[in-house]
Amino acid sequence: MPPRKRLVIVGHGMVAHRFVQSAIDRGLTQTHDIVVVGEERRAAYDRVGLTTFFEVGADALSLLPTGEYDDPRVRLLLGAEVTAIDRDARTVTFPEGELDYDELVLATGSVPFVPPIPGRELDNVFVYRTIEDLEAIREAARAGARVGAVIGGGLLGLEAANALAQLGLETHVVEMAPRLMAVQVDDVGGTTLTRHVERLGLRVHTGAMTQAVLSEEGRVTGLALQDADDVPADLVVFSAGIRPRDALARAAGLEVAERGGVLVDEQCRTSDPHVWAIGECAAPAGVMYGLVAPGYTMADVVVETIGGGERSFTGADMSTKLKLMGVDVASFGDAFATTEGALELVYSDAVTGVYKKLVITDDGQRLLGGILVGDASAYGVLRPMVASGAPLPENPEELILPASRGGSSAGASSLPDEAQICSCNDVSKGDILSHLAREEEPCDSAACVTRCTAAGSTCGSCKPVVKRLVEDYFASTGREVDRSLCEHFAMTRQELYDVVAVHGHTAFEQVLQAHGRGRGCDVCKPAVASILASQLNHHVLDEAHRTLQDTNDAYLANIQKNGTYSVMPRIAGGEVTPEKLIVLGEVARDFGLYTKITGGQRVDLLGARLEQLPAIWRRLVDAGFESGHAYGKSLRTVKSCVGSTWCRYGVQDSTSLAIMLEERYRGLRSPHKIKAGVSGCARECAEARGKDFGVIATEKGWNLYVGGNGGATPAHAQLLAQDLDTATLVRYIDRYLMYYVRTADRLQRTSTWVESLDGGLDRVREVVVDDALGLGTELEAAMERHVDTYFDEWAATLEDPDKLARFVSFVNAPDVPDPHVSFGSTRGQAEPAMPDGPVQLGATIPVGGPR
Amino acid sequence: MTDTTSPATTVVCAVERIVRESGVAALVEGRAVAVFRTHDDEIYALDNYDPFSHASVLSRGIVGTRTVEDVEVPFVASPMYKQAFDLRTGQCLDDADVRVASYAVDVRDGVIHVGAPREPR
């Protein structure tokens, strides 16, 4: 076996991370030990998603949350700076020592370019590149900055402006070119974009040359512009482009390109055959690429080449698609129609702010490029059309007309197999089709394709096309995706919900007779029971419904592993009086119940025998408690912090709002459980963004987040609407929850439901905020009905001898507890003892009475 | 059905006491037995003990039908982990190796009597 070699990578950004992943995947670590030397203290993170940092935090951006690679042959050194390269000795130098290498890969990235203008060294002057930059900007905003100015109206500049606006700053964008995003869009596109951005409250100054950062007594006061009025600002962000970090390479005598960047060949090899450069520090054929996708390709090329393969980097698709402050912008191919004889096909709607331009060949046969502003949904189909040279359809204008005017999102099926669908991860249409058609475990959904091929996993812009390809494929193979609930109902839950509503069914028997077959099962019965309860809000234990209820609903309590139940009364918003807390303690003590505080700010009492539940609840109801619906697929809790009432940081009364919301939505039967939270300030102590809906107080009102989840697949709730007054907030939540109740699948939490909707969060916003379906009033009325008809299930059960009759151990021996249930103790409280087999009541086994 | 003259039967309850398509737990010779009534008023009795969860709970499961080899089999789904048991035999429909005891049942004058466990067939 040849001796193992060492490969050193300088830098640990997105491209270096891709390199390591690629090296592991392609087996390079079988011959090479890899040492990654990162200068930042943080492991690689998603710099493309930096703009979401304030929303999701640093952890969510990390590409390597564990801080190490699974492969033991990869070592990651963070916070370590390489100061020199000795190419003759093949070593790199740190302040602490040296490291030998056989192959050296430079992935040092770039630095923001700060033009040499007076005042650039002042406090409160920032760049926008790292998490630390964003943290510093946020600190400055907290310290009192009110007005921010971003120098640079390109892609990154607008992202920086978005960040400032998110922090609540009045935001100016100052761009030297006559329009925003001058590299990507033309004049009309730029004007359209400016209109969108200004509608969001930003001020745009184009054709404006910054001459100086103004200051008084060392404090930033604004920008001086050439031939224009000063722009007042107490915080300035430079975003005027980037420069490759090639100093290390220069010092080592490697060749660099005229405009900067380490000069490399098509294999990304520098002028030293054992030194390579990838990403933004590299300049293949003298050109630097400031996008992540070409960097990824360079990483793959070097891995292949060192591994003995043949692959070259011969330029990159500089197509861009992004969503900035809710505005879609895309630019691809020959966007400026520089090809000889190129024709332009333009669709522009100034009212809705949509501008689309296709650049086509003079014979009208092929697409060369285009620009999309305001609606870039066609990007996923158009970009691969350019790259593959697929023939244009007969009426190419249909590709950019809105659907209501004859356009369609189709076109994916006409692409050739070699068309690249995902440019971030270089996945072709053929790759996707092969995963759908393979013999062993073929992909059965778009999500599966994304998992298996990585298509759509980086920027996500090709997801609609992936979905389309999957659907087209299934349609072409005649495969029907079985969406039946179970063998008794050949419909989805949503279809069943509609059928029940339209026909006005009030009982499972009617639904089964009219739309099902057989006698039902443990899947369809609870599903129909939930649908009926959502629409009618009757008692779930009424005779027509009780046999349909799932385990926990059947006894209005949560079954535990030994067949006993837990009892959890509602403690709305987590607020409880000492008197009521004492009652909980007394009940727990008197019935010998194990007591634990829950994550939803309630008290759980565990170990109640079936036959004890009525007596326990009699005491609780008498003390003013009501059902907490911990057993139901329904609203659980609205967690809250103490808010502005007590907290010195609180800006709104989160506790009162939480109690109001919990009492509004309590008892609403839904496809799955619903958890919520309300935080009184941006510190987010109620962890509202881990909930199905979360509300966070702002100075001006409430921000509403939806689709969050804790548990096995954590998801941060996403911002649906901001600075709402309480009435609007409630209206939106009413609509959101009812839309969920109506359209989600059985046992689908809101996070996966939002994801599954065509259009995702945007779709939710259309329905809930924009009321695009005109459903708003109807959804609100449905919720109002629920609120008006709410009653406490446990109080009602205690009043009904017929319902109570079920709460017995044995129908023929109601006084004898089930001998199978027994308890041990741990830390002074009860715990279940689990016998190995059925326990028979008899002389040898002592039987205790009810504890 | 067992011999109606068999002395070793335990009175459970009136048929009417069990809502159609549900079960109750009964104490039979010191054992917890789950007694079910189907939509067509057949009465079946199985051990109440769920061998998957080791808890005495089968009587609290949802009763329904499942098509097995074109036959509509009445079953109860354990409330714990939802394994289905054939009400007629106690055979688990999700695991051929698992079976719970099934008991002889007799209905006299509208009253359910449960006898001894039946031998597996």
* Average pLDDT of span A237-241: 92
At A838 the pLDDT is: 78
Instruction: Report yes or no: B45 at the A interface, CB cutoff 8 Å.
Output: no
Residue-wise pLDDT for A71-105, tens only, equals: 899 999 999 999 999 999 999 998 888 999 999 99
Cβ distance A820 to B77 less than 8 Å, yes or no, reads no
pLDDT band of residue A654 (cuts 50, 70, 90) is very high
Write the secondary structure of A685-716 as one string of H (helix), E (strand) and C (coil). Answer: CCCHHHCCEEEEECCCCEEEEECCECCCCCEC
- Output A717 or A349, whichever has higher pLDDT: A717
Res A437 pLDDT > 80: yes
At A772 the pLDDT is: 84
Cβ distance B57 to A842 less than 8 Å, yes or no, reads no
| Chain A residues in contact with B17 (beta carbon < 8 A) | 811
Look at the alpha carbons of A412, A417, A418, A422 in this order and tell me if their dihedral is positive or negative.
positive
CATH of domain A114-240: 3.50.50.60
Can you list the alpha helix ranges (DSSP code H) found in A265-312? 292-306
Residue-wise pLDDT for A250-269, tens only, equals: 999 999 999 899 999 999 99
Name the pairing type of β-strands A242-244 and A110-112. Answer: antiparallel
Cβ distance A551 to B79 less than 8 Å, yes or no, reads yes
What is d(CA A674, CA A739) in angstroms, rounded to the nearest whole number?
Answer: 13
Which of A368, A358, A798, A444 shows the shortest CA–CA distance to A619?
A: A798
Smallest Cβ–Cβ distance between A812 and the set B26, B65, B75 belongs to B26
Is it true that domain B10-117 has CATH number 2.120.10.30? Answer: no
Say if residues A415 and A386 touch (Cβ distance below 8 Å): no
pLDDT band of residue A623 (cuts 50, 70, 90) is very high
pLDDT band of residue A848 (cuts 50, 70, 90) is very low
- Output B121 or B87, whichever has higher pLDDT: B87
Res A850 pLDDT > 50: no
Closest chain A C-alpha to B68 CA, distance in angstroms: 11
At A480 the pLDDT is: 64
* Helix (H) / strand (E) containing A582: helix A578-591
Res A406 pLDDT > 70: no
CA nearest to B77 within chain A:
A522
Looking at domain A558-788, its CATH class is: alpha beta
Cβ distance A522 to B77 less than 8 Å, yes or no, reads yes
Percent share of chain B, pLDDT over 70: 93
Look at the alpha carbons of A111, A112, A116, A121 in this order and tell me if their dihedral is positive or negative.
negative
Closest chain B C-alpha to A713 CA, distance in angstroms: 21
Closest chain B C-alpha to A513 CA, distance in angstroms: 13
* Whole-Å CA distances, B3 to A175, A837, B7, B10, B116: 97, 29, 9, 13, 11
Residue-wise pLDDT for A530-559, tens only, equals: 999 999 999 999 999 999 999 899 999 999
Res B5 pLDDT > 60: no
Res A57 pLDDT > 90: no
Smallest Cβ–Cβ distance between A820 and the set B12, B13, B49 belongs to B49
Q: A446-453 and A429-437 are packed helices; what angle lies between their axes, rounded to 10 degrees?
A: 110
pLDDT band of residue A327 (cuts 50, 70, 90) is confident
What ipTM score was computed for the predicted complex, to two decimals?
Answer: 0.94
Within 8 A by CB and 6+ apart from A110, the residues are: A242, A243, A244, A245, A280, A281, A288, A290
Q: How many CB atoms lie within 10 A of CB B105?
A: 21
Closest chain B C-alpha to A592 CA, distance in angstroms: 20
Domain boundaries, chain B: 10-117
Cβ distance A836 to B54 less than 8 Å, yes or no, reads yes
Mean pLDDT (chain A) is 90
* Residue with token string 């709305």: A572
What is d(CA A293, CA A281) in angstroms, rounded to the nearest whole number?
Answer: 14
Cβ distance B30 to A840 less than 8 Å, yes or no, reads yes
Smallest Cβ–Cβ distance between B72 and the set A518, A837, A839 belongs to A518
pLDDT band of residue A392 (cuts 50, 70, 90) is confident
* Average pLDDT of span A458-483: 74
What is d(CA A518, CA B68) in angstroms, rounded to the nearest whole number?
Answer: 12
Cα Rg of chain B (Å, integer):
13
Cβ distance A551 to B30 less than 8 Å, yes or no, reads no
Cβ distance A563 to B24 less than 8 Å, yes or no, reads no
What is d(CA A825, CA A831) in angstroms, rounded to the nearest whole number?
Answer: 5
The residue among A484, A519, A550, A746 with the most chain B CBs within 10 A of its CB, best to mutate, is: A519
Percent share of chain A, pLDDT over 70: 96
Residue-wise pLDDT for A97-149, tens only, equals: 899 999 999 999 999 999 999 999 999 999 999 999 999 999 999 888 999 99
CATH architecture of the domain formed by A5-110+244-306: 3-Layer(bba) Sandwich (3.50)
* Whole-Å CA distances, A668 to A409, A671, A688: 38, 10, 20
Res B3 pLDDT > 60: no
